Structure 1
Amino acid sequence: MRAAYRIVAMLIAIAVALQVASIALSGFTIAKDADDGTTIGSDYSNFGESYHSMAGMAIGLLALVLLILSFMTDVPRGRMLAGIIVGLVVLQFLLAVVSFGLPALGVLHGLNGLAIAGVAGAASSRATSSTPAPSV
């Protein structure tokens, strides 16, 4: 179970990196499309935006899987780190929803995403480097 915990935590960190890449792709695609004369309105969408939205849902699912796995393994502070990740993911969804009405909060959405990646990386590292507690 320790290996599964480590892999899921690392997948979350990698997925967040892909989120950063997809939203950059989206921004540059919007700029190019606008330069090409495309009307950017409420019905406009591009691959980067679509991927960012779908992958966000996958990260939420992975966070829940990590939380479940945390109860089946002996990773030091594994439950706490998994719980923090779930909390940050919930906050991420809330920030995404609110940021459409108040775009300045989008900065917090981006920073929180980096926090998710950092905590997930730390969780993966704990599962890799720590030894199981001795059984008595």
Structure 2
Amino acid sequence: MRTVYKVLAYIIAAEVAVQASFVVLANAGLDKWVAGGGVLDKAVMESDEFPFPEVIGIILHGVNGGMVIPALALLLLIVSFFAQVSGGVKFAAVVLLLVAVQITLGYAGHELPALGALHGLNALLLFTAALHTARRARPATAGTPAGTPTATSV
């Protein structure tokens, strides 16, 4: 279970990086489309057609961030009860909390765009927390409790 815990935490960190790439893909495509004369307005947003191919990045960002990452974070918390990682439940709960904050900021940003800055900052916090959580699951060296930094791990 310790390995499952570690892998899930690393996958969550990787998913946060994937989220960033989806947003940049969509933004770059939008920039190119607008530079070519495209206009983004309410009619485009309500249309069922894709105005430019990179808009898929927006869709994938929503699906990945709204369903995949939360499911992984919840699974990480469940696994943390069985993984016997020192502080594992606490750190898995922090990851899940940051995911919940991230989703809230993402949706609230539609009404208050300034929250987009906090959405980006929280993504960095989530990425860091997920990496830290994964690193806690490393096997302990002789005489050192699991999760305690050693001279070789610094």
* 1:36-56, Cα deviation, whole Å (9 max, x unpaired): 222212444601101111110
In structure 2, C-alpha distance between the alignment counterparts of 1:23 and 1:86, rounded to whole Å: 22
What is the CA–CA distance in structure 1 between the aligned matches of 2:103 and 2:68, rounded to whole Å?
12
Counterpart CA distance in 1 for 2:107 and 2:73 is: 19
Task: Confirm whether residue 120 of structure 1 aligns to residue 130 of structure 2.
Answer: yes
Q: Which position in structure 1 is the counterpart of 2:81?
A: 71
Please say if 1:54 is aligned against 2:86: no
What TM-score, normalized by structure 2, do the two folds share? 0.81
- Aligned mates of 1:12, 1:130 — CA distance in 2: 23
Code of the residue aligned with 2:85 in structure 1: it is V
Point out 4+ residue stretches in structure 1 off by more than 4 angstroms: none
Which of the pair has more CA radius of gyration? 2
1:76–1:130: 8 Å Cα contact kept in structure 2?
no
Report % sequence identity. Answer: 35
Could you say which structure has the greater relative contact order, defined with CA pairs below 8 angstroms and 6 or more residues apart? 1
Cα drift, residue 128 of structure 1: 1.7
Structure 2: gaps (5+ residues): 146-154
TM-fit CA distance, 1:85: 0.7
Deviations 1:39-95 (A, max 9, x none): 212444601101111110200100000000000111111000000011111111110
Unaligned runs of 5+ in 1: none
The structure carrying a bigger helix percent of its residues is 1
Query: For the residues of structure 1 that align with 2:139 and 2:40, how far apart are their CA atoms?
Result: 48
Q: Match for residue 94 of structure 2?
A: 84
Give the TM-score of the pair, scaled to structure 1.
0.91
Contact 1:75 1:130 in 2 (8 A): no
